[in-house]
Chain A
Amino acid sequence: MHDVAVMSYGEAIREALDDALAKYPEMILIGEGVPDPKNIFGTTQGLREKYGSERVLDMPLAENGMTGICIGAALAGMRPVLVHQRIDFALLSIDQLVNNAAKWHYMFNGQQQVSLVVRVIIGRGWGQGPQHSQSLQAMFAQVPGLRVVMPTTAGDAYQFMLDAIADNNPVLFIEHRWLHPIKGEVDKTRSSAELVGASLLRRGNDITLAAFSHMSIEALKAATVLARHGVEAEVLDMRCLTPLDVDSVVRSVAKTGRLLVADCAPEMASMGHQLLSALFQSHSQRLRQAPRLIAYPNHPVPTSHFVANHYYPGAEEIAAKVLDMLDRQPLKEAVMLELQNDLAKDLPDRSFTGPF
């Protein structure tokens, strides 16, 4: 019996937090704005009313201190979920995350554990600018002892949030703000993915698209249009960063012989490099041609939408690169026509009026 509901990614997060608060009396949900009227883009709505202000609470503007306090609470048996509305704010807590949370279980030889979830939100567009829209996921994923996940679908968002809260390790849970309104199926009876493994979003034989977070949505868009023109792309959603599921990519590339990685991060800070490195070191014979990486430019994003519009790659750039790699340039004009729309690239959809 499957209990499948259609809901947005943001609603799925709220639903998972609600279910976890009910399931784990030791869970607390804390962060700047958690109980405020906008409640983290709606993802914490109604939870204070339901579970009380001791378990669902706002916090002082002290990211490092509060991270340490949540670690201490976890050592005493709590399961804190700490929310940062921007990943940029989590930089203030690097000391506690890296020196304490990530190492505690290891350095005390397995005698103590830190069951902590840190929710951070990445995003793009609408003038978020250099300090409100960074994509620092790879930096966090370089720290042994942290688990880093960035689910893309509503179903994964629900499941991963529950899994992250149940996990006895520090988990960095990365949400792309543009995923929040996207609807999907949430199956509450689905068994745990245990925070590992890529997810196959689409099958195809011509090329493998390994994409991260919101870029998986863009890759799917590109693949859908390409399919109408006879190009079948396989889309893998790289939803877990530690460990990175290289095996799934290798299996797909064994079939397609081609790989294009699409990441929502500056090129120099992309998880894609780890993927390509692993592939080259052990499986280069499976590649028919050099793999490629689509990512953001290696500079901060400017605030002005006149230029920021040209900062972010999307479905068009992915489709164009696929056609280049397959040497099918004549298809470009038709494919681009179908992918083009008049929506500015700094807006997730027509209803969005900012800011976030």
Chain B
Amino acid sequence: MAQATYDLKQLYYQMLRIRRIEEAIAARYAEQQMRCPTHLCIGEEAIAVGVCAHLTTNDKVFSNHRGHGHYLAKGGNLPRLLAELYGFAEGCCGGRGGSMHLTDLAAGFIASTPIVAGTVPLAAGYAWAEQMKKSGAAQGCASVARGRMPEATAAQGCASVAGGTAPRMEEVGRSRKPEPRMPEAANVVVIFFGDGCFEEGVMHETLNFATLKKLPLLFVCENNQYSVMTPLVERQPNRDIYKIAAAHGLQAMNGDGNRVDQVYALAQAAIANARAGLGPQFLELYTHRWPEHCGPNEDDKLGYRRPGELAAWKLRCPLLQARQGLLDSGLSHEAELADMETALVEELEQAFQWAQQGSRPSIDSMGRHLYA
């Protein structure tokens, strides 16, 4: 494996940003203004951040019901995410989707949807199209996003809605992640999904086709061991998920999904392989969700986890581990980390302020866009 060179501080900042955003959503959830099923990714931030750190906006990401982290790590627009949760026209889906349906085409985040494994074949199809375009099989083919930008969600519109005091969208919405320079390399598609997908037929159908066509595709399995409240042991036999992918002919690896440095290194190798045309890659990363399956609260009192399981995972918090690494290695210091927190408080305040000033989608618009 190539030696990973990375900026741990940057990775930490991205994880911290996702954590604080999720916490802020949770804190406001009880206000009953964000009325949509919301699946927070607190505890699982390292996977989204460690993988997306290698992607450019030309690389595409598909995700699932627990998609805030993927969206944000890919550079998805924060105020639009929040406006979507509030059901406003300025939301990334104009209020059509809520938390479980996110998109930001400019950032290369194509979509998240909540049918388990529903987006897995879509990611493969997207990668297949990219491959065909590259090979010349589909020359002259229109590029992404043939769809129109809806009136209410054009980026300029946002800035004007937000008014003079609001920060510019580029500053607020995009993560400040430097893009890797890979001008000649092929674009890759990344699909994030959970361990539950391995119980769905379409997962295996997609693995089969992805290998058959040697697609430039990275499968990222976030194995958090629970499907809602049902543990893995009640759903799957005792065998490794990544080995099933390997049996399908993919290059598959597993690792600690709570160590952002490890995720980063594994993803670096896998994405390089996918770009180089070596076919689909697979990562199984172990992690744990802290809050309840859906909603803002902790639910350890329900007793579906083993006693002490959540506490043990919290000791292995991805942020805590990265923070310790930064301090121990001298890459950062307490004051600098405190500045990060301050900057995030400010960003969040502005983002929520903008989102909460959103406009209601007109009732007339409800039937719009059924057909293109």
Q: Please give 15 more A-B residue pairs, beta carbons under 8 A apart, in addition to A25-B138, A65-B124, A100-B113.
A: A25-B139, A52-B137, A54-B135, A67-B121, A68-B118, A68-B120, A69-B128, A70-B125, A71-B122, A73-B125, A75-B110, A76-B144, A100-B122, A104-B111, A112-B105
Complex Cα distance A31/B109, Å? 29
Partner of A25, one of B93, B119, B140: B140
Q: Which 10 A-B pairs have the closest CB atoms?
A: A72-B125, A65-B205, A68-B121, A76-B129, A62-B205, A72-B122, A109-B94, A26-B141, A54-B137, A69-B125
Complex Cα distance A64/B145, Å? 24
A75 and B121 in contact (CB under 8 A), knowing A60-B205, A64-B202, A69-B206? no
Contact with A along B90-117 (1 / 0, CB 8 A): 0001111100010101000011010100
A-B contact pairs, 22 of them (CB 8 A): A25-B140, A25-B141, A26-B140, A55-B132, A64-B121, A64-B205, A66-B205, A68-B120, A75-B129, A77-B142, A78-B129, A78-B141, A96-B118, A99-B118, A100-B118, A100-B119, A107-B101, A109-B93, A111-B150, A113-B147, A145-B370, A147-B371
Complex Cα distance A110/B149, Å? 7
**Residue A324, interface by CB 8 Å:** no
How close is B88's CB to chain A, nearest CB, in angstroms?
Answer: 12
Contact B148 A169 (CB under 8 A): no
Complex Cα distance A337/B71, Å? 70
**Residue B126, interface by CB 8 Å:** yes
Contact B121 A72 (CB under 8 A): yes
How close is A319's CB to chain B, nearest CB, in angstroms?
Answer: 39
Partner of B369, one of A25, A96, A106: A106
How close is A12's CB to chain B, nearest CB, in angstroms?
Answer: 25
Most chain B CB within 10 A, of A26, A70, A72, A113, is at: A72
Which residues 270-308 of A have a CB within 8 angstroms of B? none
Contact A78 B103 (CB under 8 A): no
Partner of B96, one of A68, A77, A99, A107: A107
Contact B132 A54 (CB under 8 A): yes
**Residue B27, interface by CB 8 Å:** no
- Residue in chain A with minimal CB distance to B130: A76
Contact with A along B266-295 (1 / 0, CB 8 A): 000000000000000000000000000000
- Residue in chain B with minimal CB distance to A55: B137
Which chain A residues lie closer than 8 Å to B119 at the CB level? 68, 100
**Residue B164, interface by CB 8 Å:** no
How close is B138's CB to chain A, nearest CB, in angstroms?
Answer: 5
Contact A107 B370 (CB under 8 A): no
Which chain A residues lie closer than 8 Å to B122 at the CB level? 68-69, 71-72, 75, 100
Which chain B residues lie closer than 8 Å to A110 at the CB level? 147-148, 150, 368-369, 372
Contact A105 B118 (CB under 8 A): no
Complex Cα distance A77/B204, Å? 25
Complex Cα distance A26/B150, Å? 25
Contact A73 B128 (CB under 8 A): yes
- Residue in chain B with minimal CB distance to A70: B125
Complex Cα distance A99/B122, Å? 12
Partner of A77, one of B97, B141, B209, B372: B141
**Residue A74, interface by CB 8 Å:** yes
**Residue B212, interface by CB 8 Å:** yes
Which chain B residues lie closer than 8 Å to A169 at the CB level? 371-372
- Which A residues have a C-beta under 8 Å from some C-beta of B? 25-26, 28, 52, 54-55, 59-60, 62, 64-78, 95-96, 99-100, 104-115, 144-145, 147, 167-169
Partner of A108, one of B97, B135, B139: B97
**Residue B143, interface by CB 8 Å:** yes
Contact A99 B113 (CB under 8 A): yes
Contact A73 B126 (CB under 8 A): yes
Contact with A along B230-266 (1 / 0, CB 8 A): 0000000000000000000000000000000000000
Contact A72 B149 (CB under 8 A): no
Complex Cα distance A78/B132, Å? 9
- Which B residues have a C-beta under 8 Å from some C-beta of A? 62, 93-97, 101, 103, 105, 110-111, 113, 115, 118-130, 132-133, 135, 137-150, 153, 201-202, 204-206, 208-209, 212, 368-372
Contact A68 B372 (CB under 8 A): no
Complex Cα distance A276/B227, Å? 46
Which chain A residues lie closer than 8 Å to B202 at the CB level? 62, 64-65, 68, 95-96
Complex Cα distance A60/B211, Å? 12
Complex Cα distance A176/B140, Å? 34
Which chain B residues lie closer than 8 Å to A68 at the CB level? 118-122, 124-125, 202, 206
How close is B56's CB to chain A, nearest CB, in angstroms?
Answer: 16
Which chain A residues lie closer than 8 Å to B128 at the CB level? 69, 72-73
Complex Cα distance A105/B369, Å? 6
A108 and B103 in contact (CB under 8 A), knowing A72-B121, A77-B142, A145-B370? yes
Most chain B CB within 10 A, of A71, A78, A113, A147, is at: A78
Complex Cα distance A169/B93, Å? 18
How close is A7's CB to chain B, nearest CB, in angstroms?
Answer: 28
Complex Cα distance A60/B209, Å? 7
How close is B365's CB to chain A, nearest CB, in angstroms?
Answer: 9
How close is A232's CB to chain B, nearest CB, in angstroms?
Answer: 37
Contact A65 B206 (CB under 8 A): yes
Which chain A residues lie closer than 8 Å to B133 at the CB level? 76-77
Complex Cα distance A182/B145, Å? 40
Partner of A66, one of B96, B121, B138, B139: B121
Contact B147 A112 (CB under 8 A): yes
Which chain B residues lie closer than 8 Å to A72 at the CB level? 62, 121-129
Complex Cα distance A110/B93, Å? 8
Most chain B CB within 10 A, of A59, A68, A109, A147, is at: A109
How close is A241's CB to chain B, nearest CB, in angstroms?
Answer: 14
Which chain A residues lie closer than 8 Å to B148 at the CB level? 110-111
